[in-house]
């Protein structure tokens, strides 16, 4: 199946609205560089990581796991029939990860020293952060390589390059499956050293596995979500049959997740904290209800075929994963000593600006490059 540029006007009304948010974000980012992190954020010594790390990096890359999750299905489990979905998933992933990389430059106080993470004299392989940084940086590069044929396709003068790329592509695809497996789990491991600061409802040695499974299910959910959303938004035919089959993978993985999640809570004797009747216990329950919804809905073959339920369960799955990450890193995180944190308006607007830029880039790319599968008119 061929992919095709969508064509059409770029500066549409929604695009211009996105631009406004993008510009506000950029202005606030400039302020941060001149006046310090505290001038735009509520970050503090007790809560050194806030909205940016938890949303833009930890959650954003999990949402960007569509390309990874699809590649695993297509190339490792050899389900070639899903191939039409991969390129747009890959591209969304590429933006998600690239912008996570950009966010790192906003969040780190001494960003001009970031290369020290990779230099032999200063790198610290014992640090989970080292592993995350290396894998994420490599994966961003790998995704741009994986996506690069889109720039060359259909152009006579680039035929040679394209052929060469396709020859070695299998290696990058393999790397593109390995790297997220490593760093998505490490994004969970990051919090292990925070020890008692993280509530027993979330602190566990199983964090890497739980983060990996949910990143993959979020990957499938975002593919379903994006496909349904762009079908409506960009007026394309629904790909329901393929999507419902794909969505069927989610509940199976989530069952494995639940076994480990609750098995561990029971084993550690931490399950009782559900009844603490505080913000943490409430958020824990909400998080798990959001996980349960897609399991219940997607196990039913009939409901799975209904675009409405398909869409709702994808959204529920995504929200569950988002909440799980916010809960581990912020809601369930209490450094003590009276520290509190809630993102400031500017902090939120910077994240909103980044997301706006991400969507703008997505729109430009699908309209000018062969990303989305060609619509077959002859049906």
Partner 1 sequence: MNLQRRDFFKVLSAGVITATTSRSAQARPTFKQPPDAVGLLYDATLCIGCKACEVGCKTRNEKPNVHSEIEEYFGVSGVWDDSRDLDSATMNKIKVYKNGTAAVKDREIDGFSFVKRACMHCFDPDCQSACPTSALIKDPVKGYVTYDKDACCGCRYCQVACQYLIPKFEYHKALPELVKCEMCNHILEEGGITGCAEWCPTGATIYGKLDDLMAEARKRLELKPGDRYSFSVHTVDSDEKKSRPVEKYIDHIYGEKEGGGAQYIMLSAVPFQKLGLPEMPETSGASKSETLQHTLYKGLIGPIILLGGMVVATYRSTKKHQTDE
> How many other CB atoms are there within 10 angstroms of residue 371's CB atom?
21
126 touches partner 1 (CB under 8 A): yes
Three-state SS at 372 = strand
Stretch that binds partner 1, among 150-158, 302-310, 334-342, 353-361 (CB under 8 A): 334-342
269 touches partner 1 (CB under 8 A): no
The token duo for 155 is 């152009």
Rg value, the chain, Cα? 21
Nearer to partner 1, 112 or 275 (CB): 112
For residue 174, the minimal CB distance to partner 1 (Å) is 4
The answer to whether 70 and 90 have CB atoms below 8 angstroms apart is yes
Among 4, 15, 19, 48, binds partner 1 (CB under 8 A): 48
For residue 373, which phi and psi values (nearest 5 degrees)? -60, 140
Query: For partner 1, what does the binding mask look like between residues 81 and 100, x meaning CB under 8 A?
Result: --x-----------------
For residue 337, the minimal CB distance to partner 1 (Å) is 6
Distances (CA, A) of 229 to 61, 236, 238, 308, 362: 20, 10, 9, 11, 13
> How many other CB atoms are there within 10 angstroms of residue 274's CB atom?
15
The answer to whether 16 and 363 have CB atoms below 8 angstroms apart is no
Question: What is the rounded CA–CA span in Å between residue 328 and residue 199?
Answer: 8
160 touches partner 1 (CB under 8 A): no
193 touches partner 1 (CB under 8 A): yes
Among 56, 107, 239, 287, binds partner 1 (CB under 8 A): 107
76 touches partner 1 (CB under 8 A): yes
Question: What is the rounded CA–CA span in Å between residue 91 and residue 358?
Answer: 11
75 touches partner 1 (CB under 8 A): yes
Among 15, 138, 158, 181, binds partner 1 (CB under 8 A): 181
For residue 292, which of 267, 264, 262, 337 has the smallest C-alpha distance?
262
Q: Could you tell me how many residues of this chain bind partner 1 (CB under 8 A)?
A: 70
**CA dihedral (90, 5, 315, 104) positive or negative:** positive
Question: What is the rounded CA–CA span in Å between residue 298 and residue 247?
Answer: 7
Stretch that binds partner 1, among 70-78, 222-230, 313-321, 343-351 (CB under 8 A): 70-78
For residue 127, the minimal CB distance to partner 1 (Å) is 4
Three-state SS at 73 = helix
> How many CA atoms lie less than 13 Å away from 110 in the CB half-sphere?
4
Question: What is the rounded CA–CA span in Å between residue 39 and residue 43?
Answer: 10
Nearer to partner 1, 76 or 289 (CB): 76
74 touches partner 1 (CB under 8 A): yes
Nearer to partner 1, 39 or 374 (CB): 39
117 touches partner 1 (CB under 8 A): yes
128 touches partner 1 (CB under 8 A): yes
127 touches partner 1 (CB under 8 A): yes
216 touches partner 1 (CB under 8 A): no
The number of residues making up the chain comes to 379
171 touches partner 1 (CB under 8 A): yes
- Beta bridge partners, 333, equal 198
203 touches partner 1 (CB under 8 A): no
169 touches partner 1 (CB under 8 A): yes
114 touches partner 1 (CB under 8 A): yes
Q: Which residues bind partner 1 (CB under 8 A)?
A: 33-39, 41, 43-46, 48-49, 71, 74-78, 80, 83, 107-111, 113-114, 116-117, 121-124, 126-131, 133, 166, 169-171, 173-175, 177-178, 181-182, 185-186, 189-197, 205, 208, 335-337, 339
């Amino acid at each position: 199946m061929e992919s095709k540029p969508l064509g059409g006007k770029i500066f549409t009304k929604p695009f211009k609205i996105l631009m406004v948010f993008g510009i506000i974000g950029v202005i606030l980012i400039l302020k941060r560089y001149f006046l310090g992190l505290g001038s735009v954020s509520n970050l503090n010594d007790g809560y050194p990581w806030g909205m940016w790390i938890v949303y833009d990096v930890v959650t954003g890359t999990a949402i960007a796991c569509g390309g990874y999750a699809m590649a695993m299905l297509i190339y490792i489990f050899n389900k070639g029939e899903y191939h039409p979905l991969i390129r747009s998933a890959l591209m969304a992933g590429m933006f998600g990860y690239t912008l996570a990389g950009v966010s790192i430059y906003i969040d780190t106080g001494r960003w001009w020293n970031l290369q020290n993470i990779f230099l032999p004299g200063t790198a610290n392989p014992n640090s989970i952060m080292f592993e995350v940084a290396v894998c994420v940086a490599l994966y961003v590069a790998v995704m741009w390589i994986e996506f690069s044929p889109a720039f060359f396709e259909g152009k006579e003068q680039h035929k040679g390059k394209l052929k060469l790329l396709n020859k070695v592509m299998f290696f990058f695809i393999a790397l593109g499956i390995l790297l997220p497996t490593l760093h998505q789990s490490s994004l969970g491991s990051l919090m292990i050293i925070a020890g008692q600061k993280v509530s027993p409802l979330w602190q566990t040695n199983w964090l890497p596995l739980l983060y990996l499974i949910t990143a993959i299910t979020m990957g499938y959910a975002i593919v379903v979500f994006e496909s349904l959303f762009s079908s409506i938004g960009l007026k394309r035919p629904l790909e329901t049959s393929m999507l419902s089959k794909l969505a069927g993978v989610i509940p199976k993985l989530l069952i494995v997740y639940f076994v480990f999640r609750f098995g561990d809570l029971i084993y550690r004797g931490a399950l009782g904290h559900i009844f603490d009747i505080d913000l943490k216990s409430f958020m824990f329950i909400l998080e798990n209800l959001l996980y349960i919804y897609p399991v219940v809905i997607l196990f039913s073959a009939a409901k799975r075929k209904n675009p409405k339920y398909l869409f709702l369960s994808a959204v529920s799955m995504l929200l569950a994963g988002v909440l799980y990450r916010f809960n581990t890193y912020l809601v369930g995180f209490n450094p003590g000593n009276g520290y509190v944190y809630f993102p400031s308006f500017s902090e939120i607007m910077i994240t909103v600006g980044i997301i706006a830029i991400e969507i703008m880039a997505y729109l430009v790319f699908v309209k000018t490059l062969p990303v989305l599968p060609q619509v077959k008119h002859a049906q």
